[in-house]
Amino acid sequence: MTDVTSHGFFKFLAPVYDFGARMAMFGQYEQLRQQLLGKIEIKKGRRVLDMASGTGYLAEKMGAVDLVCTDISVHMLKRARAKAKGDFVLADAHRLPFKDGVFHGAVSSFAMHEVGRPGEVLSEMFRVLGPGGEIAVMDVVQQTRFSKKILLEIFHTFVEMRTASYVNISQLKDAFRVADGFNVQLDMFGLVAIVWGRKKL
Ligand X SMILES: C[S@@+](CC[C@H](N)C(=O)[O-])C[C@H]1O[C@@H](n2cnc3c(N)ncnc32)[C@H](O)[C@@H]1O
Smaller CB separation from ligand X, 92 or 134: 92
CB of 115 to ligand X, least distance (A): 4
Span near ligand X by CB under 6 A; candidates 34-42, 60-68, 89-97, 176-184: 89-97
Q: If you write DSSP's letter for every residue of 72-115 in order, what string do you get?
A: S-HHHHHHHHHH--SEEEE--GGG-SS-TT-EEEEEEES-TTTS
Q: Which member of 36, 48, 93, 135 binds ligand X (CB under 6 A)?
A: 93
Considering CB under 6 A, how many residues would be counted as binding ligand X? 20
Centroid of chain to Cα 49: 10
- Name the 3-class secondary structure at 7: coil
Question: H/E element holding 196?
Answer: strand 192-198
The mark string for 126-165 relative to ligand X (x by CB under 6 A, - otherwise) is ----------------------------------------
Cα dihedral across residues 63, 128, 123, 39: positive or negative? negative
Span near ligand X by CB under 6 A; candidates 109-117, 125-133, 145-153, 169-177: 109-117
Smaller CB separation from ligand X, 95 or 177: 95
CB of 25 to ligand X, least distance (A): 9
Residue 184 vs residues 46, 95, 117: alpha-carbon distances, Å: 21, 23, 20
With contact defined as beta carbons under 8 Å apart, do 109 and 139 qualify? yes
Contacting residues toward ligand X, per CB under 6 A: 2, 7, 10, 21, 52-54, 57, 71-73, 76, 92-94, 109-111, 114-115
